[in-house]
Every structure is written in structure tokens, then in C-alpha cells.
Amino acid sequence: MLSVVHRGLAALLFTLAPHFFAADPFDWQEHLGRVYANDANPVIQEAWLLGRYHGQWHWADGSAGEDDDYEGRRYRMGGQARLFQRLTVHAQMVSGSDFEPFYNGFTELWAAWRFNDALILTVGQQKHRFTHDRNVSSRYINYLERSMLTNLFGADYTPAVTLSGRTPRWSWCGGVFSNKTGRDMEDAFTNPDSGYSVLGTVTHDLTERLGTDGAFLNFSFVHSDANEKATNLNRFDQGLASALILTEGPLSLVTEVTTGMGGDDGAAYGLNLQPGIFLTRRIQVVARYQVAGSDEERGLFAQRRYEREAGLTSGDLYQAGYAGLNFHFFEHRIKLLTGIEYATLDGEHCWTGSVAIRFFFGPHSGGPFPMAQMLDPAFD
């Protein structure tokens, strides 16, 4: 199955190659995946095909081990439609890592009713939006993985009922989520044995006040009533996070502080800095520094992928520095991420090098900051 997918991707890239040399190679991809659009139709206004493939090679060398491998990290396919001017339905199936199994249930399966821009009701399997780091779709993140502390919370897509909305300077989302997910979403949604979580996030647009191209202040919280049967958000009872997201021309900077409290392995707290700059419209230099601490001797756990295979396990102080060079062939729709990261935990260390391909089609994220600003084409 993996070789078939790789051949298919190679054929797709070969087909798209002529667009690299078009006069403006970016216009055509803006609506990649859209198969129908007509706002005058009273029944169906828009229809999309959705797809995502994330493949990556890594090499990890640590003080207690080493590992290298190629992984089919994410593979999703589905569709989305906007109906009756107010209803949006969305479905995406997901495969397991390296396509094992090929069908692993639905990562998202929801319906949303827009009363107005300030009030949208969504029911079904959807994304936890605790921390800005988690809120940004994997389609747009600039690194191989999200931060260690973000991943430590164990958030995934689960059944939920949420309310969200947006005004000119504020956006918000909150709801109740199941702490269990799997192929049987009815069981995950209705079985109370795994517990539930309450999540909320609010973002304030500070762009006019700070005088930058973009400036957003984000706050988020989570309260998790999980138990031994929970498969999601079962690490901490409460979490708080705050992020400042700034963009100015080709420059971007994300600064986020996060804390988790009430876990069996103690509380944890961390800082995540993410600067970046576009050298041209296609080439971006990124960096990241993250540091996290715990009040328990073994309160932190290294990244499940890569670092644990190279000997990093647990401890009370984690630090990591990342430097990368990203190539945006068609903005975020087709890009290549390259980077190297150095991490330390409890006296052990690990170097991780990576090369990753990211490809998706479908509508762009509706978040207030889905990506850093691209440079004007004239800069190339």
C-alpha cells in the first residue's frame, strides 16, 4: 500500500510541475479541491474534496540510542459541503501511521450550523483547540512535530458539542468533549465511562493597537474529568495557555506559555518560542526554542516519535532547539520541511534531523492566524 501511495504522489507532483513555471503559479492552487461553488444555489453553495498526505524521514542519534526511518505520518481523505446558506458538513477518514491500517476511522465527522458569524454550533468528532500550538492545523505548522508539552496533554479528535464565533476583533470557541475516541464514535460519544473535558479558547485581534501586519493574543483552558478508560486528555486535570502571535512582512514570531496541573505525575509548565522569516516567497527559515519543567522528578516525557527511540525517556527539565529551512512550492499546499533539533532531558541528549513532505487540498483553515505571511511575488 505504501509504495502505491508513493507512486501516486510522484505522478501528482509530475503533473503539477508545469505550474512551477507559470507566470503566476500561485493563483490556480487557491481553490485546489473545490469541485462546485455557486452562492445563488439555495441548496448547495460549495463542495470540496479533502485530502492530506504527510510523509517524513528522520534520523535520531542520542546518548542512549539511535533510530532512523521513513514514516507515512498522516493520510486523510474526505469531503466538505456548505448547504442551505448555514449548514456545513465535514467528513475525513484517517489512516494509521504507514497506512496500517489503511482505514482507521474518521479524524473529523461533524456538522455545523451558522446562526450568524458570532454563533456557530458544531456537533460531531472534531479537534481540541487547547493551546495555539495545537490550534494551528498540521497543514500549516513549520516543524516536524508540535512542542513536547503540547503533545504531552494527549489531545486528539473526539466527539464534542461546541459553540464558536467571531466578531471584528474577537474570536472564540468552547465546548464539551469526550475523553475517548476510536472507530466506534457512537460509543465514544455516549459512553460516560471515559469521562469528559471542557475546553475554551478566545483570541483578541491587536493588529491596529500594535501597528503590525498581524497581532493576536490567544488564551485557552481545559478541564479534564478523565479516568483509567480515557484515551485523550488524560495527563492533566487542568491546563492553561497564552500565546502572542505577531507578523510583520516576512517575519513571524509566536510566543506561548503553557501549564498543566493536577496530573498523577505532577504539574508541568513550559515556554515555546517560534520565530520565522521568508527569504523569498518560497523559502522560509524557521527556528524554535522550547523549555519545560515539572515539579516531579519524572513528570515530563520525551517526544514519542524519534526522541524516545534514541534514549530520551522522562525527567523534570526538557529543553530543545530547532533550526529549519522550508520550501513552499505552492504556499502551504505543497511544501518540504527540513530541519535539525537538539533536545535534552534528565541528563540525556538527542539530535534529530528530518526531511518531510506536506501536501493537502481542500479549503483553508478558518482560524485567525492559519499561516505566516508570504512575501509579495515581486520579491522573488
CATH number (domain holding residue 238) = 2.40.160.10
Structure confidence at residue 262 (pLDDT): 92
Higher pLDDT: 149 or 17? It is 149
Nearest to 348 by CA among 316, 321, 312, 297: 312
Structure confidence at residue 371 (pLDDT): 52
**pLDDT of 59-116, one tens digit each?**
999 988 888 889 888 999 999 999 999 999 999 998 877 777 888 888 999 999 999 9
pLDDT at 11 exceeding the cut of 50:
no
Structure confidence at residue 364 (pLDDT): 85
Query: What domain range includes position 166?
Result: 2-379
**pLDDT of 188-245, one tens digit each?**
555 657 789 999 999 999 999 999 988 999 999 999 998 877 888 889 999 999 999 9
Mean pLDDT, residues 301-312 taken together: 88
User: Percent of the chain at pLDDT above 90?
Assistant: 61
Structure confidence at residue 181 (pLDDT): 73
Q: What is the pTM of this model?
A: 0.87
**pLDDT of 36-68, one tens digit each?**
999 999 999 999 999 999 999 999 999 888 888
Number of structural domains (the chain) is: 1
